[in-house]
Chains A and B, each alone.
Chain A
């Protein structure tokens, strides 16, 4: 029937893939899971990060992961600016719903088009010693690029989690997601904290982007494939829970990997949603987080 090695390989690949997806979902976990900002444009920023990494890698020979880290301040600033705009236009007016969503959708689109206009619509990829190499453990073939991507992703997630739990700003961010008014009464400006949090969310996009281009060739419209996976991971895992998001990402990764290998790869992008919809219908709060 099923060859056990093949299944194990698919599962292992799925775990690594899920770990990588979590890097992309992290930005959504912060912006949407904690701050309730439906940043649909996040995957587009990840793609921008990927292209920026590509430029640094091909022009200056910088290792992609390093490039992603170097770019974080830039993306942080972008996040700050974008939040300012969002806050002035929407949160103040209290009309976050219809217009806010359309706003981010528009940003997603504009970003994609700008990428096409500046970098062209071709697929781009980067070069690094671990891309193309694989590790052979117990008969499982683990591609080097996936190992690196998953490792960096986990580092980023746990690092951010530590920061949020152990620093003043981090705890203020957690507070603002739980109870704005209480935070204000304690003398901290919720707007500033939210801006910082959103900036952090976008900053993760630069690292996630560098991982993306390590994992596969990138072209401008590829971001759309990840909207579903990222939001599904955050919602499935429970809003506000990084661990839940990680678990959900790995689950999605494994499911996609198995369906791709055993059945038909073109169904892969639909998997995330196929899992998300029934879950939302049945359990509004996801697996581990606060209720919606």
Chain B
């Protein structure tokens, strides 16, 4: 399978395919990660950008110091974000849903302020990262990034599926449906919520770590861009939040529509489309595409 993919990669001459592929795969990881805390546990995280950008900026910082190979950067970036998730969890998971969400927004803003003031990674003027021309297995570096992201996406989805069907997953669903009752039944809610936050944050950080190499120039406004948060929430909501499959559908669908729109119409309009689609689905089809399909099959 791997050899086939690699051979297919050789045939593709247009680099743009890998650029788009990377974006779509990245959103699969982000959407799946978000859904672990959002869809499974019911805690809406608006601060996706924070974890994502922390992963990216830690990557920039470590790269400046040591130049390790990409997989190390991913692990380090992911760990940093996971730790931030843990810290945030301790502070905020005792709050009711709305306040948790506002706190995540707060986290994103505070993180952005911190990084904007961190001159080692370029502060507000941004950081340039030299992207190597070729990947370690032959082929361009973008192709290498794309495959790395593919592996991460596959890993994230497997993890989500695993969680969904495990005892942990049932615990999370119990929290989502009625946290008070869950606690009364002895579900270790705080511990599970923390676990979900750490996994979710860690995955987002891992997705963010290769970003500096993808864009070659990174500055806080683009790393912390609100559209990342909106997209990450829209995709599971559109696809369906109850399963691992929903975020994948949502990510693929919305990403491709966006990439197409960005090239054909304009980048502002494509954001509008995402927003409208998200609100449309929330109001009309709250269980997402997966929900619609299930209903069709049932009735």
A144 within 8 A of partner (CB): no
Nearest CB in chain A: distance from B105 CB, A: 6
Nearest CB in chain A: distance from B257 CB, A: 15
Q: Which of B91, B110, B272 contacts A113 (CB 8 A)?
A: B272
B42 within 8 A of partner (CB): yes
> B108-166: which have CB < 8 Å to A?
109-110, 113-114, 116-117, 124
Cα A107 to Cα B92 with chains together (Å): 25
Q: Which of B92, B106, B269, B283 contacts A89 (CB 8 A)?
A: B283
Contact A101 to B44, CB < 8 A, known contacts A266-B116, A267-B117, A274-B110: yes
Contact A269 to B113, CB < 8 A, known contacts A103-B283, A227-B105: yes
Interface hit among B56-64, B93-101, B194-202, B206-214: B93-101
Q: Which residues of B contact A109 (CB under 8 A)?
A: 226-227, 230, 271, 274-275, 278
Prevailing SS type, chain A contact patch? helix
A260 within 8 A of partner (CB): no
Cα A276 to Cα B95 with chains together (Å): 12
Among residues of A, the one whose C-beta sits closest to the C-beta of B280 is: A106
Chain A: interface residue total (CB-CB under 8 A): 40
Q: Which residues of A contact B274 (CB under 8 A)?
A: 109
B282 within 8 A of partner (CB): yes
Cα A83 to Cα B282 with chains together (Å): 15
B83 within 8 A of partner (CB): no
Prevailing SS type, chain B contact patch? helix
Contact A277 to B92, CB < 8 A, known contacts A101-B101, A105-B230, A117-B268: yes
A280 within 8 A of partner (CB): yes
User: Are B283's CB and A277's CB within 8 A?
Assistant: no
Chain B: interface residue total (CB-CB under 8 A): 44
Interface hit among A13-21, A91-99, A177-185, A242-250: A91-99
User: Are B97's CB and A98's CB within 8 A?
Assistant: yes
Q: Which residues of A contact B92 (CB under 8 A)?
A: 277, 280-281
Cα A182 to Cα B264 with chains together (Å): 56
Cα A169 to Cα B226 with chains together (Å): 38
Contact A292 to B96, CB < 8 A, known contacts A101-B44, A106-B230, A270-B110: yes
Among residues of B, the one whose C-beta sits closest to the C-beta of A272 is: B106
Contact A228 to B275, CB < 8 A, known contacts A98-B38, A98-B97: no
Q: Which residues of A contact B95 (CB under 8 A)?
A: 280-281
Cα A292 to Cα B103 with chains together (Å): 15
Nearest CB in chain B: distance from A189 CB, A: 22
User: Are A228's CB and B106's CB within 8 A?
Assistant: yes
Contact A117 to B269, CB < 8 A, known contacts A97-B97, A269-B109: yes
User: Are B106's CB and A276's CB within 8 A?
Assistant: yes
User: Are B105's CB and A89's CB within 8 A?
Assistant: no
Nearest CB in chain A: distance from B152 CB, A: 25
Cα A264 to Cα B114 with chains together (Å): 12
Q: Which one of A105, A270, A272, A281 has the highest number of Cβ atoms from chain B below 10 Å of its Cβ?
A: A105
Q: Which residues of A contact B44 (CB under 8 A)?
A: 97-98, 101-102
User: Are B286's CB and A95's CB within 8 A?
Assistant: yes
Q: Which residues of B contact A97 (CB under 8 A)?
A: 42, 44, 97-98
> B216-255: which have CB < 8 Å to A?
226-227, 230, 233-234, 237, 241
User: Are A270's CB and B230's CB within 8 A?
Assistant: no
Q: Which residues of B contact A231 (CB under 8 A)?
A: 102
> A201-252: which have CB < 8 Å to B?
221, 224, 227-228, 231, 235
Cα A98 to Cα B40 with chains together (Å): 11
Nearest CB in chain A: distance from B193 CB, A: 15
User: Are A102's CB and B106's CB within 8 A?
Assistant: no
Q: Which of A32, A38, A277 contacts B91 (CB 8 A)?
A: A277
User: Are A102's CB and B283's CB within 8 A?
Assistant: no
Cα A105 to Cα B49 with chains together (Å): 14
User: Are B234's CB and A273's CB within 8 A?
Assistant: no
Nearest CB in chain B: distance from A264 CB, A: 7
User: Are B278's CB and A102's CB within 8 A?
Assistant: yes
Q: A residues touching B (Cβ–Cβ < 8 Å)?
A: 32, 38, 85, 89, 93, 95, 97-99, 101-103, 105-107, 109-110, 113-114, 116-117, 221, 224, 227-228, 231, 235, 264, 266-267, 269-270, 272-274, 276-277, 280-281, 292
A-B complex: 8 closest residue pairs judged by Cβ atoms = A273-B106, A110-B275, A106-B279, A270-B113, A109-B275, A113-B272, A270-B110, A89-B283
Q: B residues touching A (Cβ–Cβ < 8 Å)?
A: 38, 42, 44, 46, 91-92, 94-99, 101-103, 105-107, 109-110, 113-114, 116-117, 124, 226-227, 230, 233-234, 237, 241, 268-269, 271-272, 274-276, 278-279, 282-283, 286
- Could you list 16 examples of A-B contacts with CB < 8 Å? A85-B283, A97-B42, A97-B97, A98-B97, A98-B241, A101-B98, A116-B268, A224-B109, A227-B105, A235-B99, A267-B113, A270-B113, A273-B109, A276-B102, A281-B94, A292-B96
Given contacts A99-B282, A235-B99, A272-B106, list 20 more A-B pairs with CB under 8 A: A97-B98, A98-B97, A101-B98, A101-B101, A102-B233, A102-B237, A105-B46, A106-B275, A106-B278, A106-B282, A107-B279, A109-B230, A109-B274, A110-B279, A264-B117, A266-B117, A266-B124, A269-B109, A269-B113, A276-B103
